[in-house]
Amino acid sequence: MKKIINNIFSPNLSSKSETDTLFADWKQHDFKKLLEHFDVKNIAIERGLANNPASSATTQDEFHANLDSRYRIIIADRTADINNRIESLESRSEKANEKIDFLNDEKTNLQDKLEQDYEAYKPEITLLNSRVKSAKDELNKFKKQNKLTRDADYPETLWWHYFVLISLVVIESVINASFFAEGSAAGLAGGLFIAVMVSGINVVLGYLVGKYWGKLTWSINKIFKTIGIVGFSTWVFITACFNLTVGHVRESYTGGEFSDAMTTGFQAFKLDWFGIEDFSSWMLVLIGSLFAIVALIDGLKSDDRYPFFGALDRKLRDLQLDQHSLINELKNMATDETNDYLDEGDRVRKDLNKEAISLRESHDFVKAKVALYPDYCKHYEKCFIDLINTYRNYNMEARIDPPPKYFHDAPSFDWDTNNRDEQLSILSKKIDDIRDQAEKELEQWTENRKDFENIKKEFLERMREDDSIS
């Protein structure tokens, strides 16, 4: 395109090397300048003194041939200049009409593009809709069977519960370590490992029972409820025994081998569960039990208290999120593509309007050159005839021998007389049509933009209706 545009506004200089810069444009030089430029007098006298061309010569000499060639090249350059400009106008007009065709079809193209996008997404949308429906049916059936009339209640994230869990382990470990340090010759460092192990068992076990096993207690299913009660009771018993044993172990621990303290403490526990005499050991029992209960509550609150209810609700929610994410992706794509068409419409309409103005200016410029062409050719025809005659006169004055017979023949220079008015008239009509269409498109663009928005809106509405997405 750039090359074509440059051809419109600059002359064709392809023959510069064959002529010279004097004839590089449409300037009409006078005869005197041409006489000097071609050095006619000196060349004619020099050749005449040598009796060149020979009297017997039947073909034109080098000077005649050179001038003839120069003239033909000069006129050919101007002819090519006009032809190139006209061809460029025709090419630019065709490209402008292609832009008009684009504008005429852009609404249909957008509708087709949106439909293609929808068809590409439809299988995945249909599958997700089916899975969402199945998950809804499953959840509703579960709620009906378990006489649940409320929505599931659980936190959006478990990070807080994990934070509480870790905090419990850390805090209890520090407290336990201080208690074990009181009965240990190794001090705080000696009781740290034991403390971490004890707190980990209390907290982790309490959390897991609260999160999974303990929830079965709320089930209306007798089997689940029984398992839950048994499980909860078992946890209470195990936790109590474990922490009482820890109290006995702490009372027996003096900084030696921990395994010895465990053996001694366990034996003491079997003999008398509550036979702990040391106050710090009792505090260790109470703190361990308290932290186990807190961990249990943390586990209970990490999900809905009714067993399996939260998991089913999250399954449905996750599928709905996938569903809406996919639909939003399609919505965003439709919005982006609509905006792309709007932006392209803005650009093409502005370009088309500028091009219509430029085409008219270029057409008028070419028309002026076409009008100038006959005068240009006639001017140089006369000049070159005068150059030949001048050359012959100077040559005959300088020579002794008679000139060749062709010196008496009238020189002639012809040129293309093809009238391009009809061709330019057709182009002018095309350019007028382009300008009218460009102005019309600019005037109607505000309404057309609304049409684009309506196309997008109708597409989204149909998508929601077809796929039951609100």
Q: How many CA atoms lie within 13 A of 208 on its CB side?
A: 9
pLDDT tens column, 380-395: 999 999 999 999 999 9
Structure tokens at 68: 């003839």
Is 148 contained in some domain?
Answer: no
Q: Rounded to 5 degrees, what angle do the CA atoms 177, 180, 183 make?
A: 150
Is 184 contained in some domain?
Answer: yes
Question: Taking Cα atoms as reference points, which of 218, 202, 176, 401 lies closest to residue 308?
Answer: 218
Domain that residue 78 falls in: 2-124+326-467
**Same domain? 449 vs 390:** yes
**Same domain? 288 vs 373:** no
- Residue 258 makes CB contacts below 8 A (sequence gap 6+) with 193, 194
pLDDT of residue 395: 95
Q: What is the pTM of this model?
A: 0.58
**Same domain? 353 vs 461:** yes
**Same domain? 169 vs 299:** yes
Is 398 contained in some domain?
Answer: yes
DSSP string, 116-174: HHHHHHHHHHHHHHHHHHHHHHHHHHHHHHTT--S-----S-SHHHHHHHHHHHHHHHH
**Same domain? 44 vs 173:** no
Is 136 contained in some domain?
Answer: no
CA distance 465 to 462: 5
Is 135 contained in some domain?
Answer: no
- Residue 90 makes CB contacts below 8 A (sequence gap 6+) with 427
Is 321 contained in some domain?
Answer: no
**DSSP state letter for 256:** S
Residue 127 confidence (pLDDT) above 80 = yes
Of 271, 303, 335, which marks where a domain is finished? 303
Question: Taking Cα atoms as reference points, which of 345, 262, 323, 286 lies closest to residue 128?
Answer: 323
**Same domain? 295 vs 330:** no
pLDDT tens column, 160-209: 666 665 666 666 666 665 555 554 444 444 555 666 677 777 777 777 88
Of 246, 269, 303, which marks where a domain is finished? 303
Q: Is 376 helix (H, G, I), strand (E, B) or coil?
A: helix
Is 111 contained in some domain?
Answer: yes
**Same domain? 68 vs 11:** yes
With both helix axes pointing from N to C terminus, report the angle between 62-145 and 40-49 in degrees, rounded to the nearest 10: 140
CA distance 466 to 125: 10
Is 129 contained in some domain?
Answer: no
pLDDT of residue 459: 84
**Same domain? 86 vs 12:** yes
**Same domain? 63 vs 182:** no
The conformational region for residue 152 under phi > 0 = left, psi -120 to 50 = alpha, else beta, is beta
Of 288, 303, 318, which marks where a domain is finished? 303
Q: Is 275 helix (H, G, I), strand (E, B) or coil?
A: coil
**Residues 247/178, Cβ–Cβ less than 8 Å:** no
Count of domains in the chain?
A: 2
Q: Bigger pLDDT: 465 or 452?
A: 452
Give residue 324's pLDDT band: very low, low, confident or very high (50, 70, 90): confident
**Same domain? 175 vs 298:** yes
Hey, which bits of 197-278 come out as E strands?
Answer: none
**Same domain? 69 vs 169:** no
**Same domain? 432 vs 356:** yes
